[in-house]
A = this chain, B = another copy of it.
Amino acid sequence: MNCELISVGTEILLGDILNTNARFLSKELAALGISLMHQSTVGDNEKRLKACLDHAFSGADTVILTGGLGPTPDDLTKEVCASYFGKKLIMNEDILKEIKAYFSRKGLTMPDSNSKQALVPENSTVLPNKNGTAPGLIMEKENKKIILLPGPPREMEPMFTDYVIPYLKRFSHSIIKSRTVRTFGIGESAMSEKVSDLLENENPTVAPYAKDGEALLRITAKAESEAEAERLISPVTEEIKARLGTYIYGIDAESIEEATVSLMKERGVTAAFAESCTAGLCAKRITDISGASQVFNCGVVSYSNEIKSKVLGVRANDLARFGAVSDIVAAQMALGVKKLSGADYGVAVTGMAGPTSDDPSKPVGLIYIAVTDGKNLYLKEFHGRNGGNCRDYNRFVSASNAINQLRLCIIHSPELRSEGSIEEFINSYPRN
């Protein structure tokens, strides 16, 4: 079975709404092992919708359309599709009764225009709508199928799950299974080079991609069963794990914060964060994970030198001499928040997020991360972006790097370099 999606609606073409239906359906079809080669979006226009159907059926046998099933005259998806298959529309009294009941449950009388929604193409299957008035429809002609679904996600999604999945399962003989290997601290190209031979694989395929400062590998198998797909994916996953080591922070849907919170729960350790340029983003991302209170108790956003000294105990003369964006300040922030909170690890971030720098010796994008377990210091200096819309990016990847540095510290990663004793590091700096 080859499938195509057509989203109908001027509001999508105008950019007023985000097309989340296309994503939902793409994901569901992929899970069913149904190939989806193409999606399109078109306005409520008869001629252009017909052209889309022609293009879709040139490559697919099944076309799913969402939207344009409403009661107003510009809603014409059903009419165009029925005529495309040469089917007449017939008033369905049961559906009409249900639509009237839907309105009366809300204490309203059905407007006349809604009776249009009870017109059904001859010989079609009606899919009940539990959350609205427009029923879904399945029409077949020879070996072609058209599936019509309402546009609002809260009506479309349960209808798809309840009625369309069981229908489609009859035609699908294979499944597609994917696994995503998530890495941090290595670029997409460098990662790809380490697995370049695997990228040539045919089943499972291995494809690299980059997202929000991370590099990922997607392994995708086509098979007749879950077990068979797993048998194909598993050895490739192991091979990738062996080659990428602790660059890998997680498999599948996990984010770096989710992976780190899980790891901390597993090891029974806690952490506190002192944030300057990320200003709460580390704490926010850690606590996005439900149950984070087991591993996180305290964050300090020290957005001025005074607060760095007063709350975290950073020495004022180091701030004056080396600036807030420096390794020595990062180290003292990390130790300060560890002492304040009593957590097992103190993590600090300080940097120039941009768009401008207030210190000519510190370029925008210069970031220092410090993690301490109370004894040793683990520092990282890195360079984000400078220019364009760099602020959001630098803050996001700084928080990712801080969380990843904590993860590397907890697992004693070989990629992590210790600076030795944090007290000695801090005291090695001149006090003026």
A304: contacting residue among B218, B297, B356, CB under 8 A? B297
A114 beta carbon closer than 8 Å to chain B: yes
Minimum CB distance partner of A44 in chain B:
B207
A18 to chain B, nearest CB (A): 5
A127 beta carbon closer than 8 Å to chain B: no
Contact status A287-B279, CB under 8 Å: yes
Contact status A37-B26, CB under 8 Å: no
Number of copies: 2
Contact status A303-B307, CB under 8 Å: no
Contact with B along A257-277 (1 / 0, CB 8 A): 000000000000000010100
CB neighbours of A302 from chain B (8 A) = 298
A89 beta carbon closer than 8 Å to chain B: no
Chain A: residues with Cβ within 8 Å of the partner, total of: 115
Minimum CB distance partner of A31 in chain B:
B15
CB neighbours of A281 from chain B (8 A) = 280, 284
CB neighbours of A108 from chain B (8 A) = 187, 190
Give Cα A306 to B113, complex, Å: 47
Contact status B303-A383, CB under 8 Å: no
A171 to chain B, nearest CB (A): 18
CB neighbours of A29 from chain B (8 A) = 15
Give Cα A349 to B374, complex, Å: 30
CB neighbours of A371 from chain B (8 A) = none
Give Cα A20 to B188, complex, Å: 22
Contact status B26-A290, CB under 8 Å: no
A393 beta carbon closer than 8 Å to chain B: yes
Contact status A290-B106, CB under 8 Å: no
Residues 96-112 of A contacting B (Cβ, < 8 Å): 105-108, 111
Contact status B55-A59, CB under 8 Å: no
Give Cα A310 to B30, complex, Å: 52
Contact status B11-A209, CB under 8 Å: yes
Minimum CB distance partner of A7 in chain B:
B39
Contact with B along A192-210 (1 / 0, CB 8 A): 1100000100000001111
Give Cα A58 to B36, complex, Å: 23
Contact status A26-B14, CB under 8 Å: yes
Contact status A10-B296, CB under 8 Å: no
Contact status B72-A114, CB under 8 Å: no
Contact status A301-B304, CB under 8 Å: no
A414 beta carbon closer than 8 Å to chain B: no
A300 beta carbon closer than 8 Å to chain B: yes
A46 to chain B, nearest CB (A): 13
Top 9 A-B residue pairs of the complex, sorted by shortest distance between their CB atoms: A15-B27, A280-B280, A299-B301, A15-B26, A280-B283, A130-B388, A111-B189, A279-B287, A297-B304
A18-B23, A74-B207, A297-B303 given. 10 additional CB < 8 A pairs? A11-B218, A14-B36, A15-B24, A157-B389, A279-B292, A280-B284, A280-B287, A290-B391, A293-B304, A300-B300
